[in-house]
Amino acid sequence: MMTAKEKEVIQAIEEQELFTFAQYDPEAAERTGYSDYSYWRSTIRVFLRNKTAVFLLILMTSLVAFTFIQPYLPGQKDPIKIHIDPNTGLQLRNHPPDKEFWFGTNSIGQDLWARLWSGTRTSLLIAIIVGIWEIVFGTFVGAIWGYVRPLEAFLTEAYNVISNIPTTIILMLIAYILRPSFQTMIIAMCATGWLGMARFVRNQIVIIRDREYNLASRCLGTPTGRIIVKNLLPYLVSVMVMRVALSIPGTIGWEVFLTYIGLGLPLNIPSLGNLLNEGRRVMMAPALRYQLFFPAVVLSVITVSFYVLGNAFADASDPRNHF
């Protein structure tokens, strides 16, 4: 069936004219099936198509931004200042949420709203530092492991040994040998965090190191290090982004765990783990449950968001999902 428009076009052209040769345009021939494929553009395109992920990305960006600018906003309180009830001169303990204290106060009269953001800041900071270490060190070890053959057996064995000691035990021992502090927390989690990344990178490298283009490079005399950096790492960038996103909920989880068993940050440094623990102590009193509820909600939102974002990014960065 011809559309009205087609009919018009055909009528306009003389029938004879139609049966003459058209101008052959080789470029047009190439264009017919042309696809303007670009890895990153496709990745972003696929990612943006995931509505949930986009929503969470916006949510997390604003939340992280808010966490870091919150102390500079007007009317914010000091997270460790103990507020005094002007009427009684006593500490304003367990004050329920109201206009003045949006999330109420804790058992010694500190502002929960301020503490929550301060705690989120601490936990995110730990998570990000650990995440970065995980990529840098994990990738470094993984790259050597996968690419420098003489070290392969040694590193494999070392990995076997370390990964066979349960993470819980390593974390606990380190947190225990050192004094609870911000640094201890980071050292403990850095000590185990890189393992997964190293193995991942190594596997990826083993899969692609023998691909033709790398063999070609080697034949041309490119040094190993350069091959790793130029040919292999770009392939892994998306993997790293994903690992960082996924390591954030993991790190926060471990922080909560260490705090739970009493090896966490000192109690006077607000962190999500500490706030949760503080809330846990009063959870049996329904009127005070807000002290557990607020940190739990914020923590869940953050961990779930990063987890979903990491997975969404992983999906998006997989070329198989790009068609």
Partner 1 sequence: MLKYSLRRLLHSLVTLFMVLTLVFLLMRLLPVEGYYGERADKLTPAQKEAILRKMGLLDPWYVQLRNFYLQLLRGDLGVSVIYRANVPVKEILAAKIPYSVAFGLGALVLSLVAGLAMGIHMAQNKGLFWDKFWTWYVVFINAVPGAVYLLFIQLYGTSITGLPMLFDRYNVRSWILPLVSMSLSGIAANAMWLRRFMVDELNKDYIRLARAKGMSSRAIMVKHVLRNAFVPLANYLPASILFTISGSIYVESLYSIPGMGGLLVTAISRQDNPLVQALVLIYSSLGILGLFLGDVLMAILDPRIRLEKQGGAR
Partner 2 sequence: MRLARRVLPVLLLGALVLTGCKGAGPAPRKSGDVVGIYSGELTTINYLVTATTAEQSVAANCIDCLVEYDNLGILRPALATSWEVSPDGLTWTFHIRKGVKWLTYQGKEYAEVTAQDWVDAAKYILNPKNASQTADIVYRVIKNAEKYFNGEITDFNEVGVKAKDKYTLVYTLEKPVPYFLSMLTYCPFMPVNGKFLQEVGDKFGTDNEYLLYNGCYIFSVWEPHNQQVFVKNEKYWDAKNVHIPRLIFKFNQEAATLAPELFLRGEITGAGIPTDALDEWMKDPQKSKMVRPAETSFYTYFYAFNFNPKFPAEYEPENWKIAVNNLNFRKAIFHALDRRAALLTTDPYYPERMINNTITPKNFAAYGGKDFTQIGELAEISNRDSFNPELALQYRDKAKQELAGKVKFPVKVMMPYNTGSTSWTNRVQVVEQQLENLLGKDFIDIIPVGFPPTGFLNATRRAGNYALMECNWGPDYADPETYTDPFYPGSNYNWPEMAEGYLEPNGKTKYQNMVDEAKAEVIDIGRRYELFAKAEAFLINEAFVIPYSVGGGGYVATKLEPFTSPYAPFGVSSLKYKGQVVLDKPMSTEEYKAAYEKWLKDREAALQQEAAKAKK
Partner 3 sequence: MSEPILSARDVVIKFSLRGQTLTAVRGASLDLYEGESVAIVGESGSGKSVFTKSWIGMLDANGWVDSGSILFEGKDLAKFKTEEEWLTIRGKKIAMVFQDPMTALNPLRTIGSQIQETLELHQGLRGQEAKRRTIEILAQVGISEPEMRYRQYPHEFSGGMRQRVVIAIAIACNPRILICDEPTTSLDVTIQAQILELIRKLQKELKVTLVYITHDLGVVANVADRVAVMYAGEIIEYGTVEEIFYDPRHPYTWALLSSLPQLGIKGQPLYSIRGTPPNLFNEIRGDPFAPRNPQALKIDFVKSPPFFQVSPTHYAKTWLLDPRAPKVEPPEIVKAMRAKYERYAV
Question: Which positions touch partner 1 (CB under 8 A)?
Answer: 157, 160-161, 164-166, 168-169, 172-173, 176-177, 249, 252-253, 256-257, 260-263, 276, 280, 283-284, 292, 296, 299-300, 303-304, 306-308, 311
User: Judged by CB under 8 A, does residue 18 bind partner 3?
Assistant: yes
For residues 43-69, one letter each, b for 16 or more C-beta atoms within 10 angstroms of the residue's C-beta and e for the rest, the string is beebbeebeebeebbeebeebeeebee
User: Judged by CB under 8 A, does residue 169 bind partner 2?
Assistant: no
Ranges within 171-210 binding partner 2 (CB under 8 A): 176, 179-181
The candidate with the shortest Cα–Cα distance to 102, out of 276, 235, 273, 290, is: 290
User: Judged by CB under 8 A, does residue 90 bind partner 2?
Assistant: yes
Nearer to partner 3, 152 or 315 (CB): 315
Which two three-digit tokens encode residue 319?
């070329």
The candidate with the shortest Cα–Cα distance to 224, out of 158, 136, 149, is: 149
The count of residues interacting with partner 2 (CB under 8 A) is: 29
C-beta neighbour count of 87 within 10 angstroms: 7
Question: Do 229 and 223 form a contact (C-beta atoms < 8 A)?
Answer: no
Taking the complex as a whole, how short is the minimal distance between the CB of residue 124 and partner 2, in angstroms? Answer: 21
From candidates 80, 125, 129, 162, binder to partner 2 by CB under 8 A: 80
The candidate with the shortest Cα–Cα distance to 245, out of 117, 18, 17, 56, is: 56
User: Judged by CB under 8 A, does residue 263 bind partner 2?
Assistant: yes
d(CA 258, CA 252): 10
Per-residue binding letters, 21-40, with partner 3 (x by CB under 8 A): xx-xxx-xxxxxxxx-----
Which part of the chain contacts partner 2 (CB under 8 A), choosing from 91-99, 154-162, 189-197, 235-243? 91-99
Residue spans of alpha helices (H) in 228-271: 233-260
- Give me the residues that bind partner 3 (CB under 8 A), please: 2, 6, 9-10, 13, 15-22, 24-26, 28-35, 46, 49, 323
